[in-house]
Amino acid sequence: MVKLLMIFISASLINNFVLTYFLGICPFIGVSNKTENALNMGFATTFVMTLTAAVTWPIYHYILVKFNVPYLEYVSFIIVIASLVQFVEMYVKKSSPSLYKALGIFLPLITTNCAILGLALFMVLRDYGFLESIVFGFATGVGFTLALVMMSGIREELEFADVPKVFQGASITFLVAGLMALAFMGFAGLIRG
Nearest to 39 by CA among 178, 173, 159, 147: 147
Does position 65 interact with another protein (CB under 8 A)? The reply is no
State the minimum distance, in angstroms, from the CB of residue 165 to another protein. Answer: 7
State the minimum distance, in angstroms, from the CB of residue 38 to another protein. Answer: 17
State the minimum distance, in angstroms, from the CB of residue 80 to another protein. Answer: 11
Is the CB of residue 110 less than 8 Å from the CB of residue 28?
Answer: no
Which of the stretches 32-40, 41-49, 56-64, 119-127 binds another protein when contact is defined by CB under 8 A?
A: 119-127
State the minimum distance, in angstroms, from the CB of residue 166 to another protein. Answer: 4
Q: For another protein, give the closer residue by CB, 80 or 99.
A: 80
CB atoms < 10 A from the CB of 142, how many? 20
Does position 188 interact with another protein (CB under 8 A)? The reply is no
CA angle 180, 132, 134 (to 5 degrees): 75
Could you please report the per-residue DSSP string of 38-59?
A: HHHHHHHHHHHHHHHHHHHHHI
Chain positions 12 to 41 lying near another protein, rule: CB under 8 A, are 19-26, 29
